[in-house]
Amino acid sequence: MDIKREGVARKKMIRRIIVLTLCAAAIGAISWQLSKLKPAAPPVERATVWIDSVKRGPLVIERHGLGTLVPEDIVWIPAKFDSQVESIYKHGGDDVKPGEVLMVLRNPNMEVDANDFEWQVKAAEAQLADLKVKLQSQTFDQQSLVETTLSDLNQDKLTMDRDQELLKLKLKADMDAEISKAKYQQTLIKYNTEKEKLAILKTSVDAQILNAQVQVDKLKAQWKLKKDQVDELTIRAGLQGKMQEMTLQPGQSVKPGDVLAKVADPRKLMARLQIAETQAKDIAIGQKAEIDTRNGIVPGHVIRIDASIVNGTRTVDCAMDGPLPPGAVPDLSVDGTIEVSRLDNVVYVGRPVFGQENSTVSLFKLDDDGRGATRTTVKLGRSSVNTIEVLDGLKVGDQVILSDMSAQDQNPRIRLQ
């Protein structure tokens, strides 16, 4: 009986060892399989990411910038002289017409100078009139002397002719005929001399009057200059428009170069955009543009590109080719989009948050079932405002996440919930 009971116990021991061995082997196999499994992909809320599909078709390359509306025609009115503000008739926002008085300045010294030149002109004109009378009198005296000499000449010629005829008839002595002839020749010489004196006198008179007239004209020009300067103390609008700035007060002193007022035509506005320097290199004069005034979109075109770069941006001016919507006023904030070029039949996708032109980025591409996404390297090409060309790494129909996924930089996969 003792031998039989010992054999049964041994069989149970062997069976137990086999079961434990199998369990240990199973546990090892399971552990080995679990070690081969990848870590679970972190979950991401689908509603929090921006997903777009890769497409093929035409791609419009555009450049975007913020800016303001500014008048095309702006007249800056500077002070020309040291003066003082006497009166102000127009203020910022007031409508003005050409020639309308904006303000009146005053400079007492300029007014005194203008009055002084006025009296100098009147004195010079009086002197010119007196000179003309005196020279005319001298001319008349010389003219009378010439005419008297001419009369004497004619009379002496008649006497000479008579004596010559009487001499032929033997009725006049030779001496008397010679005397009358000599007297005629003497009178002829005197007549010619007096006539030359008259011509010289007339030339002298013209020269003296011209010189005096020049002095009068010179004083008149100086007087006019002073009067014009005094008139320029009355500041007038140069065009029809609206006062943009008026910061002066009556009694305030101004010096040459100080801005007195700025007048602009609010009916002629253009968009002044600030474009990032990296994008402005593709912009050219004449390219089409769209200006969003937030109350309507107005077509336009590029008319000027600033040569300098300020704070990483270049200034681009766009003319407005369509009517302005209501509420479009100077300094209104606008968005501008400039069309640089058009590409036909290219693969493109929405522009990723960190996707720069001609760069290589890492994007999450969605699985076919849309439940997860795997990190994929994508080569990008030319970009627009909201889209960018895909050169490699994606095909038409693929869906990618364009949102900022920097929080998942260490994860090759994510799971969408």
- By C-alpha distance, which of 399, 334, 328, 342 is closest to 365? 399
Question: Is residue 37 very low, low, confident or very high in pLDDT (cuts 50, 70, 90)?
Answer: very low
- Please list the residues that pair with 304 across neighbouring strands: 317
C-alpha to C-alpha distance for 318 and 259, rounded to whole angstroms: 27
The CATH architecture to which 46-70+268-416 belongs is Beta Barrel (2.40)
Rounded average pLDDT over 57-86: 89
Q: Which CATH number fits domain 73-107+233-264: 2.40.50.100, 1.10.3720.10, 3.40.630.30, 3.90.320.10?
A: 2.40.50.100
Sequence-ordered list of residues with C-beta below 8 angstroms from that of 116, at least 6 positions apart, any chain:
none
Residues 312, 317, 321, 323, Cα dihedral to 10° = 90
pLDDT in tens, 264-280: 877 788 999 999 888 88
pTM confidence score: 0.55
At residue 202, what is the residue type? K
Confidence of residue 1 (pLDDT cuts 50, 70, 90): very low
Type of residue found at 55: K
Which tens digit of pLDDT belongs to each residue from 100-149? 898 999 999 998 999 999 999 999 999 999 988 998 888 898 899 999 99
Q: Label residue 305 by pLDDT band (50, 70, 90).
A: very high
Q: According to the model, what pLDDT value does residue 192 have?
A: 92
